[in-house]
Amino acid sequence: MGSSRIASHRAKAKVLIIGGSMAGLIAALLLKRAGWDVSVYERIGSELSGRGAGIVTHRELFDVLEQAGIERVAAMAGVPVTGRRVFGQDGALIGELPLDQIVTSWGHLYGLLRKSLADEIYHHGCNLERVEEADQAVVAYFADGSVEEADLLVGADGIFSTVRSQFLPGVSPTYAGYIAWRGLVDEADLSSATREALCNHFSFSLPEGEQMLGYPVAGLNEALAVGKRRYNFVWYRPAAIGDALNELLTDIDGVSHALSIPPNKIRPEVIEGLRRDACRLLAPQFAEVVQRTKQPFIQAIQDLETPKMAVGRRTVLIGDAAFVARPHVGAGVTKAAADAWALVEALKNEEHLDGALMSFEAPRLAVGRSIVARARRLGAYMQAQISTAEEKRAAELHRSPQAVMAETASIAFLETT
């Protein structure tokens, strides 16, 4: 079969983007600016919420967002921090590393992107059922009976991607052996000593086999002023599949969940245990953060690698639909943005769609694999099981205060990937 032109039977190339989160929004903005007829389909029936999750930004992310039309993005996107700190169990400062960076919340960045995309392009409550490809088009079938046809379909529908599951049914995420407790607390609710220690830095506390980190993000109504911000924490803790994980994920009604649980369904005794452990194991500054967080939530840490991103003749995966790296590299949104940019550039530079998708795929597969491998190495010492003594020795290389400060969400690593 001969190669197909990108838009062989319509005046303007049309793209369907499945998934309206970060990857989908960035891809939509870039493709629209490149002249495509863009439609975004999001499964959730209302505006998305990131439950207050924090995001570490990088220069590459800002570069792509500027290409997508977000003006003054670095100034608008988040909170600047001046360096990194590690606190001992007694609260003493045991490590410090100067490093300027901008950190933000999921909701704040999503809001900037969503506001930039016209409402008529973004469709809520559209649950994709299947995709069919033909020589001249790709067709998406939705649960409500609607059918959409285009020249290209972009699967930006996350770790449990419907698009990926159809084209690569054997590829699914795997549990890493540990979870993250996450949460937000208003900066104003913390003591002055804790604010002084934590709220202008990216900081860590390192119990044996665990890792706590935190940084300031936008506050209520996306306020960025000092005193109006919130503090975002992530506490990585081992939880083996079986009793340990089941205990965390059995809800207030006795229902056992697989790898996630609605925050309001977490049993009070589980949260009480978390708060006791914080006082026992963490630097007192971080223990205070946990004590004053009203609704912490659980994220199961998972890995995902796909062998292909160009999964069909007219279908491609980007962002978490293709690769999910553990959060230690702080690369999720940056990787999604770079995927979207690479796709748009390949489409500009190739006359035929199959050539464009191949040009896009090869370098992005290499980047995705590299980031996932790096994240596995950084997180290995927190896994509930480490198979061999050699693996344990390798994992120990990444758990010293200096290593944690230098390697977590490392700009240097991303720039060489």
Q: Is 8's pLDDT higher than 70?
A: no
410, part of any domain: no
Same domain flag for 311 and 365 = yes
CB neighbourhood size of 308 (10 A): 16
Q: How far apart are CA 161 and CA 173, in angstroms?
A: 10
- Structurally, the chain folds into a number of domains equal to 2
* Domain stops at, among 260, 280, 301: 301
pLDDT value of position 260: 87
- Are residues 95 and 121 part of one domain? no
pTM value surpassing 0.75: yes
Number of Cβ within 10 Å of residue 263's Cβ equals 15
Residue 363 and residue 344: Cα distance in Å, rounded?
14
Residue 141 has pLDDT above 50, yes or no: yes
**Residue 54 belongs to a domain:** no
Domain-located, residue 416: no
| Whether residue 82 sits in one domain with residue 221 | yes
| CA-wise closest residue to 368 among 310, 318, 313 | 318
What is the pLDDT at residue 415?
45
Q: Picking from 204-213, 310-319, 404-413, which range would have the lowest pLDDT averaged per residue? A: 404-413
- Whether 116 has a pLDDT exceeding 80, the answer reads yes
Domain co-membership, 189 together with 98 = yes
Domain interval for residue 202: 73-108+174-301
Classify residue 211: in a domain, yes or no.
Answer: yes
Q: Flag whether 2 is in a domain.
A: no
Among residues 301, 319, 350, the one where a domain terminates is 301
- Quote the pLDDT of residue 70: 87
- Tell me what pLDDT residue 11 has: 63
Asked whether residue 108 carries a pLDDT value surpassing 50, the answer given is yes
Mean pLDDT of 263-279: 97
CATH code where residue 212 lies:
3.30.9.60
CB distance 179 to 296 below 8 Å: no
Beta bridge partners of 81: 101
pLDDT at 298: 94
| Ordered DSSP codes for 282-346 | S-HHHHHHHHT-S--EEEEEEEEE-S-SB-SSSEEE-GGGTEE--GGG--HHHHHHHHHHHHHHH
Residues 38 and 160 grouped into a single domain: yes
DSSP-derived letter for residue 388 is S
Do both 225 and 338 map to the same domain?
Answer: no
Q: Verify that 33 and 116 share a domain, yes or no.
A: yes
Query: Within this chain, do residues 162 and 31 fall inside the same structural domain, yes or no?
Result: yes
Q: How far apart are CA 78 and CA 39, in angstroms?
A: 28
Q: What is the CATH number of the domain that holds 20?
A: 3.50.50.60
Is 120 in the same domain as 163? yes
Q: Return the pLDDT at 25.
A: 97
Do 127 and 182 reside in the same domain of the chain?
no
Confidence of residue 386 (pLDDT cuts 50, 70, 90): low
Q: Does a structural domain hold residue 262?
A: yes
Domain membership of residue 65 (yes or no) is: no
Q: Which residue has the higher pLDDT, 388 or 67?
A: 67
Which among 241, 272, 301 is the end of a domain?
A: 301
Q: Which of 101, 24, 106, 100 is nearest to 68 (CA)?
A: 24
Specify whether 24 is located in the same domain as 163: yes
Residue 405's pLDDT band (cuts 50, 70, 90): very high
Task: Work out the mean pLDDT of the chain and round it to a whole number.
Answer: 91
What pLDDT, on the 0 to 100 scale, is given for residue 417? 43
pLDDT band at residue 313 using 50, 70 and 90 as cut-offs: very high
Mean pLDDT of 362-389: 87
Q: Does one domain contain both 285 and 297?
A: yes
pLDDT at 259: 86
pLDDT of residue 414: 47
222 is a domain residue? yes
